[in-house]
Amino acid sequence: MKTRKIGTTNLSVTEYSFGTAPLGGMYRTCPRDTAMETLEAAWDSGMRFFDTAPWYGFGLAERRVGDFLRDKPSGSYVLSTKVGRLLRPVADDKVPDFGFVDPLPFETDYDYSYDGIMRSVEFSYARTGLNRLDILFVHDIGVYTHGAERNAVYLRQLLDGGLKALDALKSSGAISAYGLGVNEVPVCLDVMREADLDCILLAGRYTLLDRTAVSELLPLCHAKNTSLVVGGVFNSGILATGAVDGAHFDYGPASPEVLEKVSAMEKIAASQGVSLAAPAMQFPLQNPLVASVLLGTAKPSSLTRNMALEAHRLQPDDFGPYDAHTLVAPPLGTEAVRV
């Protein structure tokens, strides 16, 4: 599989990468054997970039990806994890319900400070059982997750101390790159006005359907040599399922407007002889700022099916007809959008 460079670093990642949130039991249980089989399918497809986080199953995904990668040759893969949440053990009946099925018995506390990030890295080494982390993403900072009032506190933590921790880790050679891992554009702009980032893992905001990143973030990334890793290319499922009853967009039921736009896109895809999922997967890579497209699943068959969509390579001109049916996310307001 082809690779692309992360920012101005010497680190390169495969154009398609594997996201491990489903391996942490996101929305449905994922037995360990199935998790290992799915990771093997990702490896067999040519993926050599794996992304995880303490948040996914409260440590479960980190443990599983570490178990899988432990016997792989040194330097044969790139691993990213995230900082910003610290795990704290709780009684079995006190494990919070954030959509993970059968997670490990922990609660999460937000901490974007210097010490919080350093502690998070040490815990991730222990959970993965690995002695190398290549990329660190600051996880879910922003109004989208915290609301404006709380985010002002967390953003100050990051700017005053957290970024210094990340820079120290990179300068020492402990990591090769760092950036943000978020679902919104505004916080990316806020941080990048004060600091340089190697990369941003942006979920759902630079897709065939949602072009929120285009007007401000992409030009700023170009000016600062910041790469994008694009997650959520199916926008919570609707670009894979199509405009069917019960289709989801942005973690909730799709609105009539979104259903109408996606229905029009399906017709375009059909005229090109592909399912809508194919242009959805391939669209971000048309932009050289995008280093990798992140795909996550808990089923080997789903991973294999998604990668088969690459067999029909669309041409750059094929993506133009979709532009008339895109959207931009509305302003966030002051309350958390995703609770």
Q: Mind telling me the catalytic residues? A: 51, 56, 82
- The C-alpha atoms of residue 304 and residue 302 are separated, in whole angstroms, by 5
Q: What is the CA radius of gyration of the chain?
A: 19
Cα torsion for 24, 30, 33, 34, to the nearest 10°?
-110
* β-sheet bridge partners, residue 136: 81, 178
Q: What is the 3-state secondary structure (H, E, C) of 84-106?
A: CEEEEECCHHHCCCCCECCCCCE
- The C-alpha atoms of residue 82 and residue 330 are separated, in whole angstroms, by 27
In 3D space, the residue among 59, 43, 50 whose CA is nearest the CA of residue 137 turns out to be 50
- The C-alpha atoms of residue 22 and residue 42 are separated, in whole angstroms, by 13
